[in-house]
Chain A
Amino acid sequence: KQEVTQIPAALSVPEGENLVLNCSFTDSAIYNLQWFRQDPGKGLTSLLLIQSSQREQTSGRLNASLDKSSGRSTLYIAASQPGDSATYLCARLQGAQKLVFGQGTRLTINP
Chain B
Amino acid sequence: NAGVTQTPKFRVLKTGQSMTLLCAQDMNHEYMYWYRQDPGMGLRLIHYSVGEGTTAKGEVPDGYNVSRLKKQNFLLGLESAAPSQTSVYFCASSYSGRGHTEAFFGQGTRLTVV
Query: Which residues of A line the B interface, CB within 8 A?
Result: 31-32, 34, 36, 42-46, 49, 51-53, 89, 91, 93, 96-104
Contacts and interface: CB of A to CB of B under 8 A. Distances in A.
**Size category of the binding interface on chain B:** 20 to 34
B42 A103 contact: yes
A100 B50 CA distance: 16
* Residue of A32, A36, A45, A53 with most chain B CB atoms under a 10 A cut-off: A32
B30 to A, nearest CB: 8
B108 A42 contact: yes
A43 B31 contact: no
B41 to A, nearest CB: 8
Contacts, number: 60
Contacts of A89: 43
A5 B25 CA distance: 29
Of A42, A44, A89, A93, the most chain B CB neighbours within 10 A belong to: A44
A91 B105 CA distance: 13
Nearest to A102: B42
A91 B103 CA distance: 10
Contact of B33 (A34, A52, A99, A104): A99
Nearest to B99: A51
Given A53-B99, A96-B50, A101 B108 contact: no
A97 B48 CA distance: 9
Contacts of B50: 96-97
B45 interface: yes
Nearest to A45: B105
B103 A99 contact: yes
B2 to A, nearest CB: 13
A46 B104 CA distance: 7
